[in-house]
Structures are given as structure tokens and as C-alpha cells.
Structure 1
Amino acid sequence: MALQWLILTYIVAAEAAVAILLTLPSPKLLRNRFVSLVSLILQPALFIVPFAGFQLLDIYWKNEHRLMCTGEVCTAAERDRYEKSIYKAQRNAILCVSACLLYWCIYRICKYQKDLQSLEEVEKRAKSQ
């Protein structure tokens, strides 16, 4: 189970790095090439959305079927373990949501850049005529 969260963590880190690189000021040619490369990667990278959704469902199911540790029956170690599992579930839920959100942001940035590029081409054609 930990391998899935490690993979998701690396994917979120990579998405954050790509989003930062897309938003940094750069020369027009370099930016256009990078946007086209990222656009090619976006469709195969769409697997992250259902993967994160499945992980969220798994967190929800485990939360609904988790043994509650309340009252005087629990020892201090059991209570600590229960709280630690709650914190891990919250962290993992934030990781899943951020993976989907970053994917959407990258998609919108690429779409915006392509629209901007096509408008510049239209402007060039209008000026040349």
C-alpha cells in the first residue's frame, strides 16, 4: 500500500515542477516547444485522475470501517496509533486532491498557451494582408 502513495507523491512533485516550468518567463520558442511537449504527455498522464479517485475511495472505505478508539477501553498506544492513521489518511487525501488539481492546472496552462499562440498567428496573418 505504501508504494501507491510513494508513486502518487512523485507524480505530484513532477506535476508541480512542470507547472512551475510552464509559468516561468522564457523565450517564445523555448516556451512553445515545452508547451507542445507537455501537451503530448498530458493525454497519457490522464491516468492520474482515476488513480487518485480510486485512492480517495479507498481512504473513504477505510475511514468508514475503521475501529473507533474512544473511551477508557483504549490504551495510550492504541489511541496514538488511531490518531496517526487519521493523520495519514488526511495527508493522503490532500495528496490525491492536489494530484487532480495540478493536472487540471497544467492542462489549462497548456490550453491557454496554445490559444495565445494561435491568436498571435492570426494577428501575423492579418498584418501581412
Structure 2
Amino acid sequence: MALQWMLLAYTVAVEAAIAILLTVPSPKLLKKRFVSLISLILQPALFVVPFAGFQILDIYWKNEHRLMCTSEICTAAERDRYEKSIYKAQRNVILCVAACLLYWCIYRVCKYNKEIESLEEVEKRYKEQ
């Protein structure tokens, strides 16, 4: 299980870095090439959305079937372990949501940049006429 979360954490880190690089002002030619490169990577990187969705379903199922440790019978160690598992589940849900949200943001930024580029080409053609 830890390998799945590590993979998702690295994916979120890479998505965050790409989102930052896409939104940082840069020369037009460099931005155009970077957007086209990221656009090529976007379709294969779509795996992150169903993967994160599956992980959220897994967290939900485990939460529904988790043994509650809220009574007086539980020891301090059991209660700590229960609270730690709740915190891990919350962290992992935030990780899954961040992965999906960052993917969507990268997709929209690339799409907006391509639309701006096509509008600039149309404007250039009108100015030539």
C-alpha cells in the first residue's frame, strides 16, 4: 500500500512543478514549446485520475469497515493507532484530490495557451489583409 501512496505523492509533486512552470512568465517561444510538450504528455498522464479515484474508494471502504476504538476498553496504544490511521486516511484523501485538481489545472492552462495562440494567428491574418 505504501508504494501506491508514494507513487501518488511523487505524481502530485511533479504536477505541481509542471503547473508552476506553465504559469511562470517566460519567453513566447519557450512557453509555446513547453506547452506543446506538456500537451503530448497529458493524455498518457490521465491515468492519475482513475488511480486517485480508486484510492479514494479504497479509503472509503476501509473507513466504513474500520474497527472503532472509542470505548473505555481501548488501551492508549490502540487509541493512538486508531487516530494515526484516521490522520493517514485524511492525508491520503487530500493527496488524491490534489492529484485530480492539479491535472485539471494543467489541462486547462495548456488549453488556454493553445487558444490564445490560435487567436493570435487569426489576428495576424486579419492584420495582413
> Structure 1 length normalisation: TM-score?
1.00
Residue in structure 2 matched with residue 41 of structure 1 by the alignment: 41
Residue in structure 1 matched with residue 106 of structure 2 by the alignment: 106
Q: Distance in 2 between matches of 1:9 and 1:60?
A: 19
Q: Distance in 2 between matches of 1:96 and 1:54?
A: 9
Amino acid at match of 1:54: F
Structure 1 runs, 4 residues or longer, greater than 4 Å off: none
Q: Could you list the per-position Cα deviations for residues 71-121 of structure 1 after superposition, in whole angstroms to 9, with x for gaps in the alignment?
A: 111000000000000000000000000000000000000000000000000
Q: How does 1:110-125 map to 2 (within 5 A)?
A: 110-125=110-125
Gaps of 5+ in 1: none
Residue in structure 2 matched with residue 93 of structure 1 by the alignment: 93
Task: Report the identity percentage.
Answer: 82
Residue in structure 2 matched with residue 60 of structure 1 by the alignment: 60
Q: Distance in 2 between matches of 1:26 and 1:7?
A: 30
Q: Distance in 2 between matches of 1:23 and 1:124?
A: 24
Q: Distance in 2 between matches of 1:104 and 1:30?
A: 22
Amino acid at match of 1:39: S
Q: Distance in 1 between matches of 2:47 and 2:60?
A: 20
Residue in structure 1 matched with residue 79 of structure 2 by the alignment: 79
Residue in structure 2 matched with residue 12 of structure 1 by the alignment: 12
Name the Cα RMSD after superposition: 0.3
Q: Distance in 2 between matches of 1:51 and 1:65?
A: 21
Amino acid at match of 1:25: P
Q: Distance in 1 between matches of 2:121 and 2:85?
A: 54
